[in-house]
Amino acid sequence: MKTNIPYLYSVKSFWARKATNGLTAAGMALVVYVFATVLMLTEGLERTLVATGSPNNVMVTRRGAETEIQSAVTREQANIIASYSEIARGLDGEALVSKESVVLIALPKRDTGKPSNVTIRGLSPTGFRLRPRVTLAEGRWFRPGTSEIVTGNKIAGGFRGARLGERIRFGLRDWTVVGVFDAGNTGFGSEIWGDAQQLMQAFRRTDYSSLIFKLADPSRFEAVRERIDADRRLPLEVERESVFYAEQSEMMANFLNILGLTLSFIFSIGAVVGAVITMHASVASRTREIGTLRALGFSRVSILAAFLLESLLIGTVGGVVGIVCASIMQFLTLSTMNWQTFAEIAFSFTLTRPIIVKALGFALGMGLVGGFLPSLRAARMDIVDALRAE
């Protein structure tokens, strides 16, 4: 009794029914494509927001506020914290702390003219030094004390008035775009920056929105938190900047995940049905061949394995095609409103190795489930009956 598997038989069988197997694999490829792109989307969003904050920076907001927009930090509170000894100092001895003012302005999109909310951030002169990843791409930085602004690279092309040399009007003033900055793969690329004092005057605000500073010793974070919590004058919340931004992806990521996985599950049933139909027909039309193989001494297990292998091949082809199509999506950037912050955020589809593994596993799983019953049927055939079949 031989139990070796006729591998070549599986491969040749797969090739013999190109059209049908191709269609089945195409159905699976579509499912894998949807599955992979949803994972890529969630991954892209999370990465962008995680990359935005730095773990050595501390973000201070009002207690209970979930976003900088809802937050308010008075000048007095800001000054108390700005004098903390835990704050890192630059080479020039300046404390690396930025008192910032964050608001949303509605800007028309360049292509449709429909307004969307863009984050506009007023920084202290030290604000740039807290975000080393942000570099100037065009023009120059704004001069403190003027109505000059710089726009993030994800905003400049997408919104009217946001390109170098253009103007945006708000707060009874015209603001000139004097530079465009490149924020790499971070959320800052979806922001507009200007001088904090000027923006607060324009918006008639007396309070800052948040305070960001760099820790001289990153391990002192908990100490700073305790110190602020213990101070009755400071009804504020402290979080590492990286954690603060990462939390802002939760709502969207959850929604995308639930929707994507539900869809993938429903679609996969359709694809599995396709695989069952294909494999079932494949077994039915090869009854005699199966009988012959058995008569040659191949065991039931070998037959089962041979047909399962064929089904797994269909799954593999579908999976690879689906992943290849999904990987093309990496060139796309999606710009949408983050429901948590109510502001525009741009992020890319990000393909990672775990996503490839998951998608391939998913495709193989579909092939396995779809091929199992028909393969079982092939293995359980009676030799004599099978040889007699038409």
Binding interface with other proteins (CB under 8 A): 19-20, 23-24, 26-27, 30-31, 33-34, 41, 62-66, 69-70, 72, 103-106, 112, 114-117, 170-172, 203-204, 206-207, 235, 251, 256, 259, 263, 266-267, 269-271, 273-274, 276-278, 280-281, 285, 334-337, 339, 342, 344, 390
Least Å distance between CB 256 and other proteins? 8
Whole-Å CA distances, 313 to 240, 290, 316, 317:
48, 19, 5, 6
Q: Any residues with CB less than 8 A from the CB of 356 and at least 6 apart, and which?
A: 36, 323
Render the burial of 6-35: b for 16+ CB within 10 Å, e for the rest: beebbeebbeebeebbbebbebbbbbbbbb
- Please say which residue, 195 or 344, places its beta carbon nearer to other proteins: 344
Nearest Cα to Cα of residue 37 among 240, 385, 331, 344: 331
How does DSSP classify residue 269? H
Least Å distance between CB 126 and other proteins? 26
Contact 230, 80 (CB under 8 A): no
Least Å distance between CB 27 and other proteins? 4
- Please say which residue, 70 or 299, places its beta carbon nearer to other proteins: 70
Least Å distance between CB 3 and other proteins? 29
- Please say which residue, 116 or 327, places its beta carbon nearer to other proteins: 116
**CA end-to-end span of the chain, whole Å?**
26
Which residues are bridge partners to 168 per DSSP? Answer: 175
- Please say which residue, 96 or 103, places its beta carbon nearer to other proteins: 103
Cα gap 95→213, rounded to integer Å: 8
Least Å distance between CB 94 and other proteins? 30
Cα gap 55→215, rounded to integer Å: 9
Whole-Å CA distances, 126 to 76, 111, 196, 267:
19, 35, 11, 52
- Please say which residue, 299 or 327, places its beta carbon nearer to other proteins: 327
Residue 167's identity, in one-letter code, is R
- Please say which residue, 115 or 184, places its beta carbon nearer to other proteins: 115
Q: Any residues with CB less than 8 A from the CB of 233 and at least 6 apart, and which?
A: 76, 77, 80
Q: What is residue 6's three-state secondary structure?
A: coil
- Please say which residue, 137 or 368, places its beta carbon nearer to other proteins: 368
Strands 148-152 and 173-182: parallel
- Please say which residue, 38 or 130, places its beta carbon nearer to other proteins: 38
How does DSSP classify residue 209? S
Q: What is residue 339's three-state secondary structure?
A: coil
Least Å distance between CB 38 and other proteins? 9
- Please say which residue, 243 or 259, places its beta carbon nearer to other proteins: 259
Contact 170, 130 (CB under 8 A): no
Least Å distance between CB 203 and other proteins? 7
Least Å distance between CB 143 and other proteins? 23
Least Å distance between CB 115 and other proteins? 6
